[in-house]
Amino acid sequence: MHLELRVPYASEVSLGEILVGETEGTGHEFLLRVTDLLHGAETAMPDWAQRVAGSMMRLDRDNAKYDLHDREERLYQQAVTTPLGFIDRTTGSPRLRKPKTLPPQFSRIRRLTDADLEFLAAYDQDLRVGLIRSGSHVINHAVGIHGRYLPHHIGVFATTGMGKSNLMKSFAASVMQSRRYGMLILDPHGEYYDGGAGVLPDGRKLQGLSHLPESTDRLLVYSSRQLPGPYNQLKISAAEVTISDLKAVYSFSQAQEECLWALNALFGETWLLDLATSTPEELSVHFGSKFHEMTLAVLKRRAEQVLRFDVLHADPNVTVTGGIMRALEDAKVVLVDTSSLWEPEEMLVSAVLARTVFRRNKEKYKRPQEFQATPPVLIAVEEAQRVLQRREGEVSIFAQIAREGRKFKTGICAVTQQPKLIPEELLSQFNTFFILGLADERDREILAGSAKQDISALVREVQTLEPGEAIIASPNVPFAVPARVDLYEDLLARQVASNGVKAAAAPKAFY
């Protein structure tokens, strides 16, 4: 369904703007989203505009002035719009209903205001992301998602510099303030703790999660590098590393993998240490001629290499996973700064932590009371294409969580510049999309095909989004909602100015 509007000569309407149509008599208003803009002119001649342009050029050449008669009456803009729904005020509190009928012709159209958005109260949202936006106008009405959908996974998609990290910081602040959900943030760039070295266009230094007043009791930081404030040294024990974790980092042939499983069966939890500390000859005693000594030698070298990772400890008691799990169970945000690690090390730590969270929640599922009292957990990964990309013969823990996490209160928040690298079958598991500016057409099309709300009409708008401008598609918003994401540094300034926000009371129920 498309509706075409005539916009008066001097008025400006922008792509993505939401307009309100008033229908006299019925008391209903309908919302329209601008999906295209064209020029219009009142004339019977189809090529009138070209002819006028031609006359102008000729007169210009002769330095004469051309005045278009009745310009303001004859020229206008034409806005092509898609109806989003109509506001039904007959049932007490206003509701947005699906657009099944055509609004009457020649209705009066006006701009959207805060008062029109009263119907959004029917959509329960407890994690704020920003304000509603209509084109480039910001409307003073908060918008976000509901945390009960965290285990239904979130995708944050944008070309570099369009505002993914800022969105993540603002969102993590909402999670801390809600006190209802656990969030594990894996930070390979070291930008979430204190904002890193970057500055805003106005010269202000970027801020981090440690600057938030709530961080004192809602944030727990683990880091492999030295940080100025309170933090814990990131360590995991070698006994926690499973074969599937290693596969997140290295490729193994079938024979090598079989050998790993045999070692695992033989030594149990300490397999990695035992592998690294035994000679191939000692190992082959256990297996006879089942595995080549060469295979054992190669695997031994791998194990030695992994054990040289700074974060890995031979002592099974030296690990942070227990502390991380407890913090997530207490609905805290856990920041794991892996920025000083090299990629294989960082990927291994990420896999171990994600798997531990998932397994823990899966275990709890067997004990309904305990499971019910467990807050949903969101695991946020930057450069998510690295862990969700299809790789030969390998199922990453992140892909597994994307497929099965919903049932076990474990969600993935995939942050990426290249959604097209994520298999569509996995993308379709993501129920919430935060789409910021995306320059690549293929990326936009992939998202349009996988979003739970119809965003096909927005593909062009997504190309024109400025940093911080987003479109939110989530189960608990009435349509793909345009938003202006809170700038984290502004959010902090507001909080500090008002001497901290009122902390929400700890909720009794979790979703």
- Residues numbered 256 to 275 that lie near ligand ATP (CB under 6 A) are none
Contact between 468 and ligand ATP per CB under 6 A:
yes
Q: Please choose, out of 59-67, 161-169, 263-271, 417-425, the segment that lies near Mg ion by the rule CB under 5 A.
A: 161-169
Q: Which of 166, 224, 374, 450 binds ligand ATP (CB under 6 A)?
A: 166
Per-residue tokens: 406: 């919903």
Size of the site for Mg ion (CB under 5 A): 2
Q: Please choose, out of 16-24, 154-162, 208-216, 394-402, the segment that lies near ligand ATP by the rule CB under 6 A.
A: 154-162
Contact between 133 and ligand ATP per CB under 6 A:
no
Contact between 161 and ligand ATP per CB under 6 A:
yes
Least distance to ligand ATP from the beta carbon of 117, Å? 20
CB–CB of 341/310 below 8 Å? Answer: yes
DSSP reduced 3-state for 12: coil
Distance CA 1, CA 86 (A): 14
Least distance to ligand ATP from the beta carbon of 435, Å? 12
Q: Which of 163, 190, 195, 375 binds ligand ATP (CB under 6 A)?
A: 163
> Which one of ligand ATP, Mg ion, none interacts with residue 161, CB within 5 to 8 A by kind?
ligand ATP
Cβ nearer to ligand ATP, comparing 17 with 489 = 489
Q: Please choose, out of 134-142, 164-172, 389-397, 473-481, the segment that lies near ligand ATP by the rule CB under 6 A.
A: 164-172
Q: Which of 196, 344, 467, 478 binds ligand ATP (CB under 6 A)?
A: 467
Distance CA 53, CA 66 (A): 10
| CA end-to-end distance (rounded Å), the chain | 37
Point out the residue whose Cβ comes nearest to ligand ATP.
Answer: 468
Least distance to Mg ion from the beta carbon of 389, Å? 19
Cβ nearer to ligand ATP, comparing 160 with 499 = 160
Cβ nearer to Mg ion, comparing 128 with 164 = 164
Q: Please choose, out of 21-29, 198-206, 207-215, 262-270, the segment that lies near ligand ATP by the rule CB under 6 A.
A: 198-206
> Which one of Mg ion, ligand ATP, none interacts with residue 105, CB within 5 to 8 A by kind?
none
Contact between 170 and Mg ion per CB under 5 A:
no
Distance CA 52, CA 54 (A): 5
> Which one of ligand ATP, Mg ion, none interacts with residue 323, CB within 5 to 8 A by kind?
none
Cβ nearer to ligand ATP, comparing 86 with 488 = 488
**Edge-to-edge strand order for the sheet containing 154-157?**
137-145, 127-134, 481-485, 469-473, 432-435, 154-157, 410-416, 377-381, 182-187, 333-337, 219-223, 232-233
CB–CB of 207/492 below 8 Å? Answer: yes
CB–CB of 441/432 below 8 Å? Answer: no
CB–CB of 133/42 below 8 Å? Answer: no
Contacts of 381 (CB under 8 A, 6+ apart): 186, 350, 354, 387, 398, 412, 413, 414, 415
Neighbours of 12 (CB within 10 A): 11
Dihedral sign of CA atoms 450, 359, 150, 225 in order? negative
Q: Which of 117, 162, 354, 377 binds ligand ATP (CB under 6 A)?
A: 162
Contacts of 162 (CB under 8 A, 6+ apart): 436, 437, 438, 465, 467, 468
Whose tokens are 């507001």? That residue is 494
What string of H, E and C letters represents the secondary structure of 44-69? CCCCHHHHHHHHHHHHHHCCCCCCCC
Distance CA 395, CA 247 (A): 9
Contact between 256 and Mg ion per CB under 5 A:
no
Cβ nearer to Mg ion, comparing 153 with 164 = 164
> Which one of ligand ATP, Mg ion, none interacts with residue 451, CB within 5 to 8 A by kind?
none
> Which one of ligand ATP, Mg ion, none interacts with residue 82, CB within 5 to 8 A by kind?
none
Least distance to ligand ATP from the beta carbon of 468, Å? 2
**Distances 140 to 262, 434, 509 between C-alpha atoms, Å:** 61, 19, 29
Among residues 85, 77, 69, which one has the least CA distance to residue 28? 85
**Distances 42 to 8, 39, 433 between C-alpha atoms, Å:** 12, 10, 42
Point out the residue whose Cβ comes nearest to Mg ion.
Answer: 165
Beta-bridge partners for 20: 31, 110
Least distance to ligand ATP from the beta carbon of 166, Å? 3
Q: Which of 165, 223, 256, 396 binds Mg ion (CB under 5 A)?
A: 165
Q: What angle do CA 363, 366, 370 make, to 5 degrees?
A: 85
> Which one of Mg ion, ligand ATP, none interacts with residue 368, CB within 5 to 8 A by kind?
none
Contact between 417 and ligand ATP per CB under 6 A:
yes
> Which one of ligand ATP, Mg ion, none interacts with residue 162, CB within 5 to 8 A by kind?
ligand ATP
Contact between 487 and ligand ATP per CB under 6 A:
yes
| Interface with Mg ion (CB under 5 A) | 164-165
Chain contacts with ligand ATP (rule: CB under 6 A): 158, 160-166, 198, 200-201, 417, 467-468, 485, 487
